[in-house]
């Protein structure tokens, strides 16, 4: 998986900072001696990386943790080698001695590099080793979908405590079953096969490293365009955007509040955002973050889609497929 240019620039910037800081102090040792490398010290370093990576995401597998820790060690050694080249050039030292100091001996620099390495590489590790893999949701079975499951899908809606009553039955078959059908209308087929605007919008949203899926579906649950990480099945996720919207609409309609335009679902480590338009639905699945930059990208992605739809297609392209079939017969 490629590392986005934004992430690469961020890593380069922080790498320069941790190279410059020890250069200012060199050759001061701050009361520390020169380190002697041993297998035990390397194991301690890898253990530190593993602990920090586990802190980032406690669902990280042992293999992913080992791979990420190895990447951190390689990065730290590369930064140390660059630091050694710099002190050789600035202080006219022997290149071998400088490399040894930068990578293995000069503790002020080595300790700084070790301490910050996993934090600098965190965005890249998200791309290379998905530390919070989205588990594929099973397609709902109409015969076994109960009230409790439908209630979970409505967790994004705030309802008064006094509200009571079971949700009316929801037909999952229409939403999920038709998602795999191929439209025979030539206009709809052309819209989906030439949906560059949908792909541009989802790719733009996917530039945020926390995004695991960005998908645009039509009123029948058909996937118009998407961005996804390798571990995510976009086809399996697409119908759920309509299910979330429909179930929230039914709850809100009981209070006379109409249909939701946007839904935000916050889970322990994920965030699901759904934006409903008249002709399409955008769903974004991302790692939960404390900042709100992802909301800005979602808003911008919606603007790209609206402009694309307005410029390229008539609204009747996204009308109910059944109505088009009836009119054509």
**Residues in the chain, pLDDT under 50:** 131-195, 320-322, 324-325
Distance CA 179, CA 171 (A): 14
**pLDDT of the residue at 119:** 93
- Report pLDDT digits (tens) over 242-296: 888 888 888 888 888 877 888 888 888 888 889 887 778 999 998 877 566 788 8
DSSP H/E element including 48? helix 39-56
- Residue 279 burial by Cβ neighbours in a 10 Å radius (0-12, 13-18, 19+): middle
The whole-angstrom separation of Cα 100 and Cα 110 is 11
Q: What are phi and psi of 167, to 5 degrees?
A: -70, 140
Burial of 81 (0-12, 13-18, 19+ CB in 10 A): middle
Q: What is the per-residue pLDDT for 280?
A: 85
pLDDT for position 185? 41
SS3 letters for 153-205? HCCCCCCCCCCCCCCCCCCHHHHHHHHHCCCCCHHHHHHHHCCHHHHHHHHHH
Nearest Cα neighbor of 247 from 161, 321, 134, 171 is: 171
Region of 218 (left: φ > 0; alpha: ψ -120 to 50; beta: rest) is beta
Q: What is the pLDDT of residue 39?
A: 87
Q: Which residue has the tokens 């645009």?
A: 216
C-alpha neighbours within 13 Å on the C-beta side of residue 118: 22
Nearest residue to 270 (alpha-carbon basis) of 258, 283, 280, 285: 285
Residues of the chain with CATH 3.30.450.30: 147-328
CA–CA dist 34, 12 (Å, integer): 27
Please report the pLDDT score of residue 95 as a whole number: 92
The whole-number pLDDT of residue 134 equals 39
Q: Which of 36, 48, 40 is nearest to 73 (CA)?
A: 48
Are 165 and 263 within 8 A, CB to CB? no
Q: Are 81 and 17 a contacting pair, CB within 8 Å?
A: no
* pLDDT score for 74: 94
Nearest Cα to Cα of residue 32 among 95, 104, 106: 106
Superfamily of the domain at 147-328: Dynein light chain 2a, cytoplasmic (3.30.450.30)
8 Å CB contact between 166 and 260: no
Query: Which pLDDT value is given to residue 118?
Result: 93
**Cβ–Cβ < 8 Å for 301, 146:** no
């Amino acid at each position: 998986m490629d590392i986005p240019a934004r992430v690469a620039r961020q890593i380069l910037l922080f790498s320069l900072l941790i190279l410059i800081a020890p250069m200012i102090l060199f050759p001061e040792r701050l009361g520390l001696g020169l380190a002697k490398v041993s297998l035990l010290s390397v194991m301690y370093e890898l253990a530190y990386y593993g602990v920090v990576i586990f802190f980032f995401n406690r669902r990280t597998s042992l293999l992913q943790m080992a791979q990420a820790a190895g990447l951190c060690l390689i990065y730290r050694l590369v930064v140390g080698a660059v630091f050694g080249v710099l002190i050789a050039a600035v202080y006219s030292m022997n290149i071998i001695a400088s490399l040894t100091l930068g990578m293995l001996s000069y503790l002020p620099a080595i300790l700084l590099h070790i301490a910050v390495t996993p934090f600098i590489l965190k965005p890249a590790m998200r791309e290379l080793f998905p530390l919070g893999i989205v588990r594929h949701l099973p397609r709902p079975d109409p015969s076994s979908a109960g009230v409790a499951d439908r209630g979970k899908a409505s967790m994004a809606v705030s309802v008064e405590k006094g509200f009571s009553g079971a949700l009316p039955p929801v037909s999952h078959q229409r939403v999920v079953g038709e998602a795999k059908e191929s439209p025979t209308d030539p206009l709809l087929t052309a819209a989906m096969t030439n949906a560059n605007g949908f792909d541009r919008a989802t790719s733009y949203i996917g530039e945020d490293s926390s995004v695991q899926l960005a998908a645009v579906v039509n009123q029948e649950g058909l996937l118009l365009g998407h961005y996804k990480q390798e571990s995510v099945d976009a086809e399996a996720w697409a119908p759920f955007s309509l299910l979330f919207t429909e179930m929230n609409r039914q709850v809100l309609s009981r209070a006379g509040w109409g249909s939701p335009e946007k839904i935000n679902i916050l889970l322990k480590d994920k965030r699901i955002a759904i934006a409903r338009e008249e002709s399409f639905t955008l769903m974004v699945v991302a790692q939960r973050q404390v900042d709100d930059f992802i909301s800005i990208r979602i808003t911008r992605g919606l603007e790209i889609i609206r402009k694309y739809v307005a410029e390229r297609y008539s609204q009747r392209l996204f009308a109910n497929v059944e109505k088009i079939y009836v009119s054509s017969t």
